[in-house]
Amino acid sequence: MIPRYSLPEMAAVWSDEARFTNWREIEILAVEAWAELGKVPPEDARAVRERASFTVERVQELERITRHEVAAFVQCLAESTGEPGRWIHFGMTSSDVIDTGLALQLRAAADIVLSRLERLLAVVKRMALEHRDSVMIGRTHGVHAEPISFGLKLAVWAFELDRDRERLRRAREVVSVGAISGVVGTYAMLDPRIEALVCNKLDLRPAEASTQIIQRDRHAEYVATLAVVASTLDKIATEIRQLARTEVREVQEPFGEGQKGSSAMPHKRNPIACERISGLARVVRGYSQVAFENVALWHERDISHSSAERVVFPDACGLLDFMLVEATKVLDGLRVFKERMRRNLEADGGLAFSQSVLLALVDKGLSRDDAYLIVQRAAAASWDEGAEFRAELGQNPEVQRLLSPEELNVLFDPERFVRNLGGVFEKLEKLPVEGL
């Protein structure tokens, strides 16, 4: 994990200390399960619980000799426990510990990400309701289309974040699975009840079936979900970046006291947080490809996934955690220039109302093709010659004959375009969000 893009809570989940603590608990629970089944003397199980300990430094020291991390860890626990330590790792294989421990880390990481997403969703929902009547120009292909409200734009984001929340909840459940089934998943040296007892204590589901490992389709779904959420944040960040362009300037990222936008140009207020989000989203999406590659392993297991996962899981979780916090800061402190939105809406001389005029002429009895040609010619004069769209329309004999000035006024009222959005905001108000 890169310190620049890591937050303490998530970094702690992926630390060696946390990983080995999970492993220790799994090993102890397995010994206690053997004791419950009558294999291990109860006093030995108690001794393991009380004495088994590790230090990261000692495990690393042993690994330099064994060149096997789990073997080094088991040796470290055993030597700290004494004679009862012989029961540690009894009948188990490395992946029983690694994969079950990984499930605990992925679940903890998902809980952090979900809490961050919840806070962002609360901010976006609040802003959407605040700006339900903030009229602005809508754009398709980057070109002015028809008026919308900034609240609608935010509502679209809110419902997408809600879907991301459901995806994350599912991904959390998918990876909350443990397996203690031995070297090829046959329980040959283990009683299947060991797996059930250990998983129950860890609040994990036992895998329905495993080889030496828990199957990586689960993990691919998890990382793919992180990539989808990252892409939502990229989408939001990209839109803010577009709206913050100098010639648009309808919004602006928070810009703090003492902040510098450029080392050379004092006037600059660049959307650097949103650019950072977009850049990191590319990395998280790239990690999803690695997770897909890890699904296909040789026979009952090879180790090609292991090295990749040491990078992908901590980084993907850590980067998304950072991105969610960053996005929340941006949205919560976003400056919204409603007057600039209104000026941009009016800047094209009324071209955004072309469909209103088209439909009004059709409603008055013109064929659609004739009405389209009239409106398109007026629009072309506006595009190509700088003419005022409404004035051009007013000079057309057919328009004069069919539409009164008062009727034209109604057609060029931007508020008409957002009058039917009540249903959207009613659904938004019902969207459950913690902290709102």
Q: Name the residues annotated as catalytic.
A: 141, 262
Residues 332/123, Cβ–Cβ less than 8 Å: yes
Quick one: which H or E segment has residue 206?
Answer: strand 205-206
Task: Report DSSP letters for 392-427, one per residue.
Answer: HHHT-HHHHHH--HHHHHHHT-GGGGGTT-HHHHHH
Question: Which sign, positive or negative, has the C-alpha torsion 259, 265, 269, 271?
Answer: negative
Residues 225/170, Cβ–Cβ less than 8 Å: yes
Strand-pairing partners, residue 139, are 144
Instruction: Give residue for tokens 């088994």.
Output: 52
Would you state the structure tokens that stand for residue 162, as one six-digit string?
Answer: 């809600």
Instruction: Give residue for tokens 């000692």.
Output: 58
Would you state the structure tokens that stand for residue 189, as one six-digit string?
Answer: 């040296």
**Residue 176: closest CA among 115, 104, 98, 96:** 104
Phi, psi of 176 (to 5 degrees): -80, 60
Strand-pairing partners, residue 251, are 336
Would you state the structure tokens that stand for residue 34, as one six-digit string?
Answer: 């053997």
Residues 210/297, Cβ–Cβ less than 8 Å: no
Q: Which residues contact residue 45 at a Cβ distance below 8 angstroms, ignoring those fewer than 6 apart?
A: 31, 32, 34, 35, 84, 87
Coil vs helix vs strand at 334: coil
**DSSP letter (8 states) at residue 310:** H
